């Protein structure tokens, strides 16, 4: 399964990327919104993990674009923006999950498994 991660914090990106690769996922990583949009179009990932605050395009703009183009792609938003209005907007635009930073990598893995119907041993 292909998962795209768009996260501008290089440490967070690396931790998520390495963990998912160890679990056998094909991971496409990017640090800005413009590159994320390009890579989504090129690679057609099944799951997209997005930060909200990124250069060029915000995670919210990307959620809207993804859901406009395909409702099959599952979107998990990860952010330190916990204001209810931001969470509500992400969900209204079509995000499937919203995880507040800091978060447990196991929480992220469980969301991926549930959304993508991944076998429990993945």
Q: Which CATH number covers residue 112?
A: 3.40.50.2300
Q: pLDDT averaged over the chain?
A: 90
Position 94 in a domain: yes
pLDDT in tens, 1-48: 899 999 999 999 999 999 999 999 999 999 999 999 999 999 999 999
Enter the pTM of the model: 0.89
Position 98 in a domain: yes
Count of domains forming the chain? 1
pLDDT surpasses 90 at 67: no
User: How many angstroms separate the CA atoms of 13 and 28, rounded?
Assistant: 10
Determine the structural domain holding residue 101 and report its residue range: 2-116
Residues forming a β-bridge with 4: 28, 48
Position 121 in a domain: no
Position 122 in a domain: no
């Amino acid at each position: 399964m292909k998962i795209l991660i768009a996260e501008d914090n290089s440490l967070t990106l690396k931790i998520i990327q390495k963990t998912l690769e160890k679990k056998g996922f094909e991971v496409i990583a990017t640090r800005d919104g413009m590159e994320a949009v390009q890579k989504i179009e090129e690679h057609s990932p099944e799951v997209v993990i997005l930060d909200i605050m990124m250069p060029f395009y915000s995670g919210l703009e990307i959620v809207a674009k993804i859901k406009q183009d395909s409702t099959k792609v599952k979107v998990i938003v990860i952010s330190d923006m916990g204001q209810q209005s931001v969470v509500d907007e992400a969900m209204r635009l079509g995000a499937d999950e919203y995880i507040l930073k800091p978060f447990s990598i196991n929480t992220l893995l469980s969301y991926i498994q549930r959304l993508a119907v991944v076998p429990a041993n993945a």
